Structure 1
Amino acid sequence: MSVYCKYFLTTSPLKSLKIIHSLGCSVRRRFYYNDRPYVSFGGVWDINLQKVFCKDMQVIFDFLSEKDEKSLVEEAEKLLKRLRYEYDHWDNAIHGYRETEHLHWNEYNMGILKRVQKTAFHSETQDMKLVHILDLAENGFIKPHVDSIKFCGNTIAGLSLLSDSVMRLCHTVEKDKVVDVLLKQRSLYIMKGIARYEYTHEILGSNVPNLMNYTVHKSRRVSVICRSMPEMDFHQR
């Protein structure tokens, strides 16, 4: 059985998902933005688990203006231009990438990052000051992985620049539970809770038909990623 549910995705940072219409309990549901599916659940899901997942994996479209995106890319380019694209990674998680970390952003971009922090992190959550910049080539992709608790805490927030892409999440135990999430250019995703700890996540390669056969073409993609500090109890062990 397939049940289709329409959601409205707001550009307001304080309201990420609002249910407009739903029908019963579903085996598979898809969420829509401007009549395009942006989240697709595969496998057998309890409807309550879907709701928890949507709370812990949020996407805010049009979080950035074109001016914001241009400003972030320009500053990132200055840091990335001397780096070569790499096709192996220390933990074999990324293919076709350049990456760096940045602390001292210009005033305009610091204002953008403060908006990210206000939107994604609770007041009691301490976010890491170093911001991760990850540049994926057009033929690049990120393999399934769960971010190590050694390096970040409960919340990961990422800005998607230059290209649309699809993030796929797969339950670490129940492998049939798969979720495809459309990350639109200039969107912000916020991953926490069960989405952060209980599911691997990956960025699919270019021209992958998914989300009801709607092909998302991923070209070069730059992401600006903020993370919360690792949990204190981990360091105290």
Structure 2
Amino acid sequence: MRLLSAVLKQIHKPPVYTSRQRCLSPLQDEALVSGSSQELVQRLSSQVEVRTAFITEEEEGALLRELEPGLKKKRYEFDHWDDAIHGYRETERVRWGAACEQVLNRVRSVAFPEGSPLLGPVHILDLDKSGYIKPHIDSVKFCGSTIAGLSLLSDSIMRLVKEDASNEWLDLLLPRRSLYILRDQARYNFTHEILKDEESVFSGQRIPRQRRISVICRNLPG
């Protein structure tokens, strides 16, 4: 499904600065966002958001019960049409049970402006433990100014790098059952990726990455 457009980059890690927002997950002593400068962290603070414990264990279970039967029919793939993803299964879903629809409505209400036309199908991306997502910017043909994703089954690290200045970057700690939101400049001008398990380190702390399913909502181009 051609939902991603690859923009590959070599990323170097400068000194780390952290935001004041604190994680309420078991990694409670770690900040959620680190970056190449405090100025960048502050500048993008309204455009990059991570909400920990956005869904409960029960809600995660409800989502998995709907998703697993269809995902099990697919094989993990280790190439992608534009080389953006390795070790993945993906699908789209339009219809959901009542409990899952309630969760998705909550995502939509906090992530998108009221009245914003949304992309109908919800994108489901299942990464194997050895899988990863390379740096890319989602095509403007398929989605608008905002991307919102639930992280199921595993903690992970998302890295954002400025498309025309690779020394400007943010790392986001995405705890299991959290919601991330990317808006506007963070969506259009920065690549985003999910790090490999062996590279999954946040502010010097190892964040083991297991199989990860993301449930992604997008709005339509304006």
In the superposition, the TM-score normalised over structure 2's length comes to 0.88
How far apart, CA to CA, are the structure 1 residues paired with 2:70 and 2:197?
Answer: 25
Equivalences for residues 182-193 of structure 1 within 5 A? 182-193=173-184
Higher-Rg member (1/2): 1
Aligned match of 2:125: 134
User: What displacement does 1:210 show?
Assistant: 2.5
- Within 5 Å, which residues of 2 pair with 1:37-76? 37-42=31-36, 45=37, 47=39, 49-76=40-67
1:6 maps to which residue?
20
Q: Give matches, 1:28-107, under 5 Å.
A: 34-42=28-36, 45=37, 47=39, 49-107=40-98
Alignment match, 1:177: 168
Matches within 5 A, 1:85-234: 85-231=76-222
Superposition deviation, residue 126 in structure 1:
1.1
CA offset at residue 189 of structure 1? 0.4
3-state SS of 1:98 partner:
strand
Separation (CA, whole Å) in 2 of partners of 1:124 and 1:91: 32
Q: Deviations over 1:61-115 (max 9, x none)?
A: 0000000001101111122111000011011100000000000101110010000
Residues 144-202 of structure 1: per-residue CA shift (max 9 Å, x gap)? 00000011000100000000000000000111011111010000001111110010000
Measured in 1, the distance between the counterparts of 2:217 and 2:17 equals: 35
Structure-1 separation of matches of 2:17 and 2:123: 38
The answer to whether the Cα contact below 8 Å between 1:208 and 1:217 also exists between their aligned partners in 2 is no
Higher relative CO (Cα under 8 Å, sequence separation at least 6) belongs to 2
Identical positions, percent: 43
Deviations 1:104-141 (A, max 9, x none): 10111001000001010111311112100100000000
Residues 206, 219 of structure 1: 8 Å contact kept: yes
User: How far off is 1:5 after superposition?
Assistant: 5.1
> How far apart are residue 230 of structure 1 and its match?
1.8
How many equivalent pairs are there?
Answer: 207
Q: Which amino acid aligns with 2:135?
A: P
Question: Contact 2:149/2:180 (CA < 8 Å) preserved in 1?
Answer: yes
**Displacement, 1:4?**
5.7
TM-score by length of structure 1 reads 0.82
Alpha-carbon distance in 2 for matches of 1:166, 1:2: 14
- In structure 2, the residue matched to 1:21 is none
- Note the C-alpha offset of 1:209: 5.0
CA contact (8 A) 1:207 1:216 kept: no
C-alpha change, 1:202 and 1:3, in structure 2 (3 Å) is closer
Q: Aligned Cα RMSD in Å? A: 1.9
Once the 2 structures are TM-superposed, how far is the Cα of residue 8 of structure 1 from its aligned partner?
4.1
Stretches of structure 1 lacking an aligned partner (at least 5 in a row): 12-32, 232-237
Of 88-97 and 202-211, more deviation after overlay is shown by 202-211
